[in-house]
Amino acid sequence: MTVRLLPVPIAAALLALGGAAASAQQVTLRNGEVSADYSVSFLGLSIGSGQMVSTTTDGANYRTTLNARVTGIAAMFAGGTGTAVAQGRVAGAQAVPTSFQIQVNSGGKVETTDIGMAGGNVRSVVRNPDKPPHTRATPVTEAHLRGVLDPLSAGIFIASGSGPVVGAGACDQRVSRIYNGVVRFDLIYSFVETRPVDIAGYKGDAAVCRVRFEPVAGYRADRSDIQAARRRSAEVILVPVTGSRALLPAKITLTTGYGTGTAQATRLALDPGQATTRRASN
């Protein structure tokens, strides 16, 4: 979602769940569909939910959709829903997006952002309503929009090298350069360990990674939530997609000065070759 619907770190968890580093390694993805449902909580209270579906064709072309909504006690103060769609192609071990759209419905208002991309560079941005940048926001230049990912394409994890999929190759020393139509930011990853987990039906080894948020442009340096997110790191647990070197986030945990927030899978469909039955969104 956007920061207006969920707290910044948890919003980032749902819309920027991960990233793939550039690599000369050639990867072919399994054709089919993987999906996951996520529950977002803060201080143990439900504040949001999300459903992600990613479809691959021709071993490289992808389409990823995320539907999210504010739930629980948070809906009493800032109810809202959103849908984001990203399309592109995996080249080597890197997602190369071609388009990203997001629609947010909140407080009776609808906001949309449409980003056109080619070769890793932003070619067009259309926002409705078209709001000018805040006067105190750091400028976004043309250079900032080269070699970037949209938030959903950044959620494609592909383990580098030929070692274990849930080893260091899952995330170590990866930097995702992300643009969401307003803000350019980096997510910087480091590998922590391989850990056995039992989450949403998956039972086995997972890659545990630490991720740090670094704003680059388009943000206000005087915003306390941005600065707080910058000072802290989150833990991301990645589980492998069946028969490939791709991984999917199963749990994200962030401890803040106000408490702990989590985005955790409640359902994982990790085999692209199997038809899945998804629970309808409420």
Domain range list for the chain: 8-269
The confidence score (pLDDT) of residue 108 equals 86
Q: How confident is the model at residue 11 (pLDDT cuts 50, 70, 90)?
A: very low
Residue of 8 and 271 predicted with greater confidence: 271
CB-CB neighbours of 271 under 10 Å: 16
| pLDDT reading at 155 higher than 50 | yes
Q: How far, in whole angstroms, is CA 164 from its chain's centroid?
A: 23
From residue 270, alpha-carbon distances to 9, 37, 155 in Å are 25, 12, 15
Which amino acid would we find at residue 248? Answer: L
What mean pLDDT comes out for the span 228-235? 88
Share of the chain above pLDDT 90, in %: 63
What mean pLDDT comes out for the span 260-265? 93
pTM for this model (two decimals): 0.86
Contacts of 54 (CB under 8 A, 6+ apart): 33, 34, 35, 62, 63, 64, 65, 156
